[in-house]
């Protein structure tokens, strides 16, 4: 058996990959879409259209001059009916654009494959596509592909781990479009002059490992790494260690150890965009959970409401108690089914009360299991104590901003302490203090 390098900490979670064999279905054009101007890490976009305007598929409707940002395009053809703050997946109101669709799905006249002859053309094309990381974080891809010139990047790491329970949208891409994934990897290697790519896939997906190994066998630059099925294997720092043995230190980025990390769906889309010129307007989403009538993977226009998505999957078997955007470990609970799918939405889950309710919190027994589970080598119990005592000024000393909010600490706690929730509060306080300074 090949040696598998295992990162420190983490937890073993049930996989619940119920939609593993669910081929991607396509949701038709909804009656309306709501497209938020915040779909990435970085500066929000400003609407470039107004109420009453007509738009077509692939047309820019939001943009920003900021470098760490990504343009937003219409996923449908129709008429702009609202341009105002609307409910966002985070629970906040953010500037959004509502489009009443006309059912025609007419493509914008300016859509054509980009002309790419060099690195600069490539990076410009990636920005124009609106691509952000499709693994969940939503970091603008053109920024990730353009590290500072003093960083010697020699390895492209492709994330096919998909370690969260329930989610299978990445797996379906590996099974349904392995050629697109390999073509996207080759484009990045060629234009960024990188000689080595490693595709990391958890060992609970043997058919994906076999298929991608077969598809990539003619390119010696690309190798496949079978990873232990351990959460959070797909987190950047964990993935880099598992595939290369390199450690990204506190406050550092993957480029500091010579790596760029991209999701399998991200590289696959790169290949698609350079062939078609169609911006990122569609997203595959895993729809699952104990109350969903027909769990499946669905390709939907960005901006589709959660209600329309659940309706497409047959609605609910019983009243949902909790709806999550994302997986059960890091997903965000939704206040309303009127919120919409955005670029980095990879799953929508709906649970009954038994599965969705938070357990009762009990006093910490100082067992240290949260410390053992933390992949970032932090002290979750101490961070929790400081937040609960309003001692926010001490949080920096315990490296709270290094927390990746994976939830391993809460998952492993026998007292069911709300550790990751309190750490999020602490991180927000620290960031606000830094911004004030």
Q: Domains in the chain: how many in total?
A: 2
pLDDT < 70 stretches in the chain: 1-3, 434-437
Q: Which of 130, 120, 116, 121 is nearest to 278 (CA)?
A: 130
Angle between the N-to-C axes of helices 178-192 and 264-276, in degrees from 0 to 180, rounded to the nearest 10? 80
pLDDT for 311-358, tens place per residue?
999 999 999 999 999 999 999 999 999 999 999 999 999 999 999 999
* 129/261 same-domain check: yes
Domain assignment present for 431 = yes
Instruction: Please check whether residue 340 lies inside any domain of the structure.
Output: no
Q: Quick check: is 75 in a domain? A: no
What number of CA atoms fall less than 13 Å from residue 260's CA on the CB side? 29
Same domain membership, residue 255 and residue 154: yes
Return the pLDDT at 3: 62
323 domain-assigned: no
pTM score, two decimals? 0.95
Q: Is residue 214 part of a domain?
A: yes
pLDDT confidence of residue 91 = 86
pLDDT of residue 437: 40
The answer to whether residue 195 sits within a structural domain is yes
Do 261 and 406 have their domain in common? no
Per-residue tokens: 362: 């009990």
Residue 211, pLDDT score: 98
Q: What is the pLDDT of residue 4?
A: 80
The pLDDT mean for the chain works out to 95
DSSP class per residue in 157-178: EEEE---SSS--HHHHHHHH-H
pLDDT of 138 reads 87
Check which CATH number belongs to the domain holding 247 and give it: 3.40.50.11540
Domain containing residue 123: 119-276
Whether 88 is in a domain gets the answer no
Q: Whose CA is closest to 121, among 192, 57, 171, 182?
A: 192
Per-residue model confidence (pLDDT) at position 2: 59
CB 151 within 8 A of CB 255: yes
Domain end position, chosen among 212, 247, 276:
276
Q: Answer with the one of 254, 276, 298 that is the final residue of a domain.
A: 276
Same-domain check for residues 246 and 394: no
Of residues 299, 285, 348, the one with CA closest to residue 320? 348
Q: Are residues 234 and 383 in the same domain?
A: no
Domain end point (choices 261, 276, 291): 276
- Residue 169 belongs to a domain: yes
- Closest by CA position to 265, among listed 165, 325, 146, 180: 180
């Amino acid at each position: 058996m090949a040696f598998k390098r295992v990162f420190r900490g983490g937890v073993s979670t049930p996989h619940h990959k119920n939609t593993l064999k669910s081929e991607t279905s396509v949701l038709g054009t909804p009656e309306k879409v709501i497209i938020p101007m915040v779909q990435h890490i970085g500066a929000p976009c400003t609407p470039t259209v107004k109420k009453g305007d007509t738009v077509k598929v692939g047309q820019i409707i939001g943009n920003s001059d900021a470098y760490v940002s990504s343009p937003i395009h219409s996923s449908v053809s129709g008429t702009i009916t609202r341009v105002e703050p609307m409910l966002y997946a985070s629970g906040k109101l953010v500037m959004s654009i509502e489009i009443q669709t006309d059912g025609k799905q007419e493509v914008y006249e300016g859509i054509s494959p980009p002309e790419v002859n060099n690195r600069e053309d490539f990076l410009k094309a990636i920005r124009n596509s609106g691509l952000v990381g499709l693994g969940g974080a939503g970091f603008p891809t053109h920024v990730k592909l353009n590290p500072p010139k003093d960083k010697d990047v020699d390895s492209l790491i492709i994330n096919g781990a998909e370690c969260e329970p329930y989610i299978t949208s990445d797996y379906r891409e590996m099974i349904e479009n392995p050629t697109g994934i390999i073509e996207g990897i080759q484009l990045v290697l060629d234009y960024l002059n990188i000689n080595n790519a490693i595709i990391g896939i958890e060992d609970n997906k043997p058919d994906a490992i076999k298929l991608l190994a077969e598809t990539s066998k003619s390119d010696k630059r690309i190798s496949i790494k079978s990873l232990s099925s351990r959460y959070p294997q797909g987190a950047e720092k964990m993935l880099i260690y598992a595939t290369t043995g390199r450690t990204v230190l506190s406050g550092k980025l993957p480029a500091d150890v010579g790596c760029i990390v991209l999701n399998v769906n991200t590289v696959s889309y790169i290949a698609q965009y350079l062939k078609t010129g169609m911006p990122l307007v569609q997203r595959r989403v895993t729809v699952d959970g104990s109350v969903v009538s027909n769990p499946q993977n669905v390709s939907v226009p960005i901006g589709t409401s959660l209600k329309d998505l659940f309706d497409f999957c047959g609605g609910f078997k019983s009243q949902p108690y909790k709806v999550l955007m994302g997986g059960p470990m890091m997903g965000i609970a939704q206040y309303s089914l009127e919120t919409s799918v955005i670029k980095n939405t990879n799953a929508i889950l709906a649970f009954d009360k038994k599965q969705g309710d938070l357990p009762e919190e009990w006093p910490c027994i100082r067992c240290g299991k949260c410390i053992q589970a933390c992949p970032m080598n932090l002290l979750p119990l101490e961070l929790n104590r400081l937040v609960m005592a309003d001692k926010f000024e001490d949080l920096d000393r315990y490296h709270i901003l290094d927390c990746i909010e994976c939830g391993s600490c809460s998952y492993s706690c026998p007292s069911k302490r709300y550790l990751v929730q309190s750490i999020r509060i602490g991180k927000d306080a620290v960031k606000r203090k830094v911004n004030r300074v």
